[in-house]
Amino acid sequence: MSGPRTLRHVGPSTSDDERDHCVIVAIDGPAGSGKSSVSRAVATRLSLNYLDTGAMYRALTWAVLEAGVDPDDPAAVAAYVEGGDPPIIVSGTDPKDPTIDVDGTDVRTPIRGPEVTSNVSAVSAVPAVRGFLVDLQRKEVARSTHGIVVEGRDIGSVVLPDADVKVFLTADPAVRAHRRAAETTQQVDQAQLAATESSLRERDAKDSSRVVSPLTRADGAIEIDTSDLTFEQVVDAVVDLVRDGTGELA
């Protein structure tokens, strides 16, 4: 890529001559930092596509489990992915209704279940898995004709290191735990919060210490601590970064 680009090139009315100037926004961060909701809101506001790479890892984990492959056996997982009939994962990029299918099956609901959640870190750590999905992610970005917001844990550092704008969202683990618990119930008790925070800290440790594509703030990424910010304030901050077109805070 040849440097920062601006939103004057981005939108549904983009001409054929401008399609190779579409803005790419990479949003990384740990679990519960608000990546998905913020990324979707930013993409919607700016009329961009949206890609949830975390859902892709969850979808592959679901496929591994459905195939009867032991998720804790890296060699078996690698053999499954590298075999002659790997799963076909298709991601919808409409931020208002993102979809994820595996071999034609809609897996949006099952990939958020406890079985996938408890095994996705192990599957994601397998180098063959990351190679397989990074290739799919880059192809999806290349297909975008009017810009895209891509969210995950290694987008700015590994998948799209030359993204026009790179953002690293973070928040205190206790805040992230409260947000994550509130997603599943209206009444959050202390025991649930403690369990959720412990789970998030464990996930952070696994994601940050893995050998392949560890969770890290990418070079040139702007870190936004969302602990004391409202959702709209976070969205506004990211939108301002994209509109600035340089990744620098105004």
Beta-sheet pairing, 89-91 with 100-102: antiparallel
Q: Which range, of 18-22, 83-87, 191-195, averages the lowest pLDDT?
A: 18-22
Q: How far apart are CA 152 and CA 83, in angstroms?
A: 26
Residue ranges of domains in the chain, CATH in brackets: 7-242 (3.40.50.300)
pLDDT digits (tens, 9 = 90+) for 54-80: 999 999 999 999 999 999 999 999 999
Note the pLDDT of residue 232: 96
Model confidence pLDDT, tens digit, residues 9-35: 333 333 344 434 589 999 998 877 888
| Position 169 pLDDT exceeds 70 | yes
What does the pLDDT read at residue 4? 37
Q: Are 168 and 222 in contact (CB under 8 A)?
A: yes
Handedness of CA 181, 187, 189, 191 (dihedral sign): negative
User: Which residue is listed with tokens 């599957």?
Assistant: 123
Q: Is the pLDDT of residue 249 over 50?
A: no
34: left (phi over 0), alpha (psi -120 to 50) or beta: left
Calculate mean pLDDT across residues 95-123: 95
Those residues whose C-beta lies under 8 Å from the C-beta of residue 160, and which sit 6 or more positions away, are 24, 26, 138, 141, 150
pLDDT score, position 27: 96
Q: Which residues of 137-248 form beta strands (DSSP E)?
A: 148-152, 165-170, 222-225
Per-chain mean pLDDT for the chain = 84
Q: For residue 182, what pLDDT is reported?
A: 65
- Is the model's pLDDT at 218 over the cut of 60? yes
Closest listed residue to residue 134, CA positions, set 89, 101, 97: 89
